[in-house]
Amino acid sequence: MTTPEILFEDGETLVIDKPAGLPIERPRKGGHSLEDHLEALKLGFQRPPVPVHRLDTDTSGCLLLARNPKALKRFNRAFEDRLVGKTYLGVLDGLPQGEEGTIELSLAKISSAEKGWRMIAAKKGKPAITHWRVLATQNGKALIEFGPETGRTHQIRIHALAGLGAPLLGDPVYGRVHGKSSGAARTMLHAAALSIPREGKPPVNATAPFPADFAALGFADPVG
């Protein structure tokens, strides 16, 4: 059980490169989760670090952890105040219209006994804003840079489908073939970079390595 790579570290925070497939919280059915790594991530501190935000199980990349309650409170406030810079990379299962833009689609949660719960674009939902631009195209698929202003559940996944007209490759819930991976072993979404300003301290800046499964599709690291 390899401890996730540390991308940024100081006295109040860690940013780790969360592997795809690793859930933040222990699944109800049991199994491996981030909780198994928190003891190793203490790194000499008394308390284990605490995740400040959430990434879907399939999503890889930058995950912010707070090392004490005061830091957790400040970082939570930064997320609420939309001060956190977030850059995601996603592989779209199709090609969007245009090269860049902003998606403003409110999101709401629905559930049913047959399909469980999911998010949908709905006028009466919570406001959600995502900026996007095409970085590259390959074999009818597009590498997209997403910059979400808000942090709604499944925001990028729904905005890709409803705003760009195509789902993320491999999305088992919102993909072209529901319940199947449709060409990828996971939802192709990666938290590539994270930045947080801090009063009286240098900002938190972290960048996660370009995922191997993105490269295997023929896409190159946009910053490499």
Integer Rg of the chain from CA: 17
What fold is seen in the domain 5-210? Pseudouridine synthase (3.30.2350)
User: In the structure, what pLDDT confidence band is assigned to residue 30 with cuts at 50, 70 and 90?
Assistant: confident
Catalytic residues: 56
What kind and span of H or E run contains 216?
none
pTM above 0.85, yes or no: yes
User: Which pLDDT score is estimated for 27?
Assistant: 82
User: Which pLDDT score is estimated for 223?
Assistant: 80
Give the amino acid at 122: A
Burial of residue 146 (CB within 10 Å: 0-12, 13-18, 19+) is buried
Average pLDDT over residues 170-175: 90
pLDDT digits (tens, 9 = 90+) for 176-192: 755 444 678 899 999 99
User: Which pLDDT score is estimated for 56?
Assistant: 94
Higher-confidence position of 38 and 115: 38
Average pLDDT over residues 198-215: 95
User: In the structure, what pLDDT confidence band is assigned to residue 115 with cuts at 50, 70 and 90?
Assistant: low
